[in-house]
Structure 1
Amino acid sequence: MSEAMLEISNVDKFYGPIDVGVHAVKNVSLDVARGDIIALLGSSGCGKTSTLRMIAGFEEVSRGSISIAGREVQTLPPVKRNVAMAFEGYSLYPTVTVRDNIAFALKSSGRPAAEIAEKVAEIAEMLEITDILERFPSSISGGQQQRASLARALIRDADLYLLDEPMGQLEPQLRTLLRGRIKYYIKERGLTAILVTHDQTEANALADKIAVMEDGEMQQYASPEEIKDAPANLFTGTFVGEPPMNVFPAQATASDKALVFALQDGSELSFPKSSFAAALHDRIVGLGKVTLGVRPYAVHRKETGAAARVLANQWLGDQSHIAAEFAGGALVLVEHDRADLAEGDQIAVQLDPDDLHIFDPQTGAAISHGASLVR
């Protein structure tokens, strides 16, 4: 395993007195291997930016410890942590040009002028800002300022690169182009980066691992593939994925040959008992009430199956998103061909037990993914 560049251990952040003030970050722990890109993903107010700012040293740690490259840093000022940060608010020096903003750290370290000029030119070309290098921050757009701030951070020699919503101001086409370039730049140089974002597409495209956060807590820390295929809980399962995971409550019972899920509208889903491992079967039946989850891509229209009624059918240019009334709620399914369906049409859908995610409705914790019991 690669050496850990960043270690966060049982970190809490209170705004106000400890155990009395607002508890913004709650007992967060994670290790980041050298050379990895990690995304802190969550909605506004979930604690991801507070976590990033504690790593940088702009917020005090209320409890716990943070180590960077083997050094405990939670009591050190930002300047002694050897981190580079691209702020969501840009924070460019207004009195110098974009070129001098980007080159500032290299000039301060006494690098030769020719080397600085070469590095600035390289990173400016990558981020499509070569044409604004001689301009001042006040004369360029928000998106250009954001790219200049990102260039100023990435050009530095640092142990850790902290990127706070680094492309939030960019138009979609440019954002898509730069994601690939930035990831290549970071990986080619073996840099270690922490990305804060609310955009799951950005997190999936850039990160080796994603830390999903909500209400100050770490919900899951895993690879993008694992979070999609094996969400740790109901929150992660429904937060990550587009369209979101379909969920519906059910009552599980068993016969000699089948495991049956009774749905809210009185309909049933029945699967052969052999579809589930014995331990999983016993766990589901023992729990009784469960929450079933299935990804929209795993819902299939068939000649026979559970009844559903079309509520909406949207063709998005490369796929159809079909919303249907099902089990007393709504079910979304995705098809890659244009679907000839109208509102009110009756359809039949099939769910494969291998595609089911089953959650404990009380705790939200995942019980199983397909036939695999979560232990």
Structure 2
Amino acid sequence: MLELRHIDKTYRSRGKPPVHAVRSLDMEVGKGEIVALLGSSGCGKTSTLRMIAGFESVTSGTIALQGRRIEHLPPARRKVAMAFEGYSLYPPLTVRENIAFALKSQQIARSEISRRVEAVARLVEIEGILESFPRAISGGQQQRVSLARALVRDADLYLLDEPMGQLEPQLRAVLRGRIKNLLAERGMTAIFVTHDQTEASALADRIAVMEDGVLQQFASERELKNQPANLFVASFIGEPPMNLLETDVSRSDGGFRLLMNREVAFEIRGDVLDRVAQKTLEDTASVRIGIRPQKIAVGTGDVRVRVFSNQWLGDQSHVAGECGGKLLIAVTPSRVAARPGDNIQFGLDPRDIHIFGADGTCIRHAEVS
């Protein structure tokens, strides 16, 4: 198990203001669990990974792996394997020698080293370049060498920094499945950094969403979509992103009425709200609501929209419609016979809306069907 407690990282440069890259991060990763650090560029995910590996110092806080404190240990003593985003291969060594480098210091038999190297090379499809040098292979091949060098080791934790960012989509999809199976079959604990939601969903058991150095939510992909903790997670997770709309709040019989620009009204029963949500709606004049594009019915319903765009993506239509000066995006599995400028109907069910308070915290989740 990996435990991060109150981890802070501040970068200081002479003549420049300090950069607070990671802020009071708390996280636990179970043995055999695969975790993704997901966020936009500069959110602190790579700094977090490098602090765990020992390539960045911890400004404050503690890191424990398998019950032992490691934040003060050099990288070589942490029992952590890492695949670097920048590859960090040894130029004078062949691909085979790069992959085998860490194994040679562990007094492993030469035949066993060769077996492991060739097995992991087949896994990432680089068996044909084992005798090549790093300068003679492509960036995508170098990335796979770096990945193989980490996966071939015996470690308590595997850290993968954008492990497949340079690969073409077809190969990336194949390797995701192979690496997921390898990690699961061997019970390997792994953390990987990515900005790709598809990669995070395909590989990870849980996803840690970060922004501005702060852990926003740490949960399964399903929970992040159905129960986002706040506005940032709601808008960041999902493709296309969640529709977010400002609404006015008023009391109605047995509940509340949420009105958007006098065009769209949602009736929310009081008995489906907890005490915090009821109190928030009683005390505020407006809230933001969110609805997933996949939850909007196209061609039926009470909301009339003017089509802004209509895209068929091969297996689904993305229809953007303007309503009361706001843009709503709907996703449907069938083709939609509508052109920009046409008026069509959207169906929005109050049970499918999330409600966010003034501080961005989600106070009511959509009902899960």
| TM-score normalized by the length of structure 1 | 0.94
CA–CA distance in structure 2, aligned partners of residues 59 and 105 of structure 1: 21
CA–CA distance in structure 2, aligned partners of residues 321 and 53 of structure 1: 39
Match for residue 273 of structure 1? Answer: 269
Match for residue 25 of structure 2? Answer: 28
CA–CA distance in structure 2, aligned partners of residues 278 and 236 of structure 1: 21
> Quick check: 2:44–2:213 contact (8 Å CA) kept in 1?
yes
CA–CA distance in structure 2, aligned partners of residues 275 and 344 of structure 1: 40
Query: C-alpha offsets along residues 238-270 of structure 1, whole Å, 9 cap, x if unaligned?
Result: 00110111001001112215632121x322313
Match for residue 236 of structure 1? Answer: 233
Given candidates 280, 287, 291, the residue that maps to 1:290 is 287
Secondary structure of the equivalent of 1:304? strand
CA–CA distance in structure 2, aligned partners of residues 367 and 256 of structure 1: 21
Given candidates 3, 16, 26, the residue that maps to 1:7 is 3
Match for residue 130 of structure 2? Answer: 133
Match for residue 164 of structure 1? Answer: 161
Shift of 1:333: 0.4
Given candidates 191, 194, 199, the residue that maps to 1:194 is 191
Secondary structure of the equivalent of 1:237? helix
CA–CA distance in structure 2, aligned partners of residues 63 and 331 of structure 1: 44
Instruction: Report 1:333-352 matches (<5 A).
Output: 333-352=330-349
> Quick check: 1:248–1:327 contact (8 Å CA) kept in 2?
no
Is 1:249 paired with 2:246? yes
CA–CA distance in structure 1, aligned partners of residues 302 and 278 of structure 2: 22
Secondary structure of the equivalent of 2:258? strand
CA–CA distance in structure 2, aligned partners of residues 286 and 118 of structure 1: 67
The one-letter code of the counterpart of 2:144 is R
Match for residue 42 of structure 1? Answer: 39
Shift of 1:168: 0.4
Count of matched residue positions in the alignment of Structure 1 and Structure 2: 364
CA–CA distance in structure 1, aligned partners of residues 34 and 63 of structure 2: 17
Structure 1, 273-282 or 330-339: larger mean CA deviation: 273-282
Instruction: Report 1:322-337 matches (<5 A).
Output: 322-337=319-334
> Quick check: 1:260–1:268 contact (8 Å CA) kept in 2?
no
Match for residue 173 of structure 1? Answer: 170
Unaligned stretches of 5+ residues in structure 2: none
Query: Structure 1 residues 309 and 224, CA, compared in 2 at 3 Å: closer, same or farther?
Result: same
The one-letter code of the counterpart of 2:214 is E
Match for residue 81 of structure 1? Answer: 78
Structure 1, 168-177 or 286-295: larger mean CA deviation: 286-295
CA–CA distance in structure 1, aligned partners of residues 214 and 198 of structure 2: 21
Match for residue 57 of structure 1? Answer: 54
CA–CA distance in structure 2, aligned partners of residues 101 and 250 of structure 1: 58
Unaligned stretches of 5+ residues in structure 1: none
CA–CA distance in structure 2, aligned partners of residues 125 and 154 of structure 1: 12
CA–CA distance in structure 1, aligned partners of residues 20 and 198 of structure 2: 28
> Quick check: 1:276–1:371 contact (8 Å CA) kept in 2?
no
The one-letter code of the counterpart of 2:12 is G
Shift of 1:186: 0.6
Given candidates 226, 250, 257, the residue that maps to 2:223 is 226
Shift of 1:277: 3.3
CA–CA distance in structure 2, aligned partners of residues 278 and 221 of structure 1: 23
Shift of 1:289: 1.1
The one-letter code of the counterpart of 1:75 is H
The one-letter code of the counterpart of 2:212 is D
Match for residue 204 of structure 2? Answer: 207
Secondary structure of the equivalent of 1:156? coil
The one-letter code of the counterpart of 2:361 is A
> Quick check: 1:275–1:371 contact (8 Å CA) kept in 2?
no
Secondary structure of the equivalent of 2:359? coil
Match for residue 368 of structure 1? Answer: 364
Aligned residues: CA RMSD: 1.6
Shift of 1:26: 0.4
The one-letter code of the counterpart of 2:90 is Y
- State the identity as a percent: 54
CA–CA distance in structure 2, aligned partners of residues 257 and 287 of structure 1: 17
Moved over 4 A (4+): none
The one-letter code of the counterpart of 2:113 is I
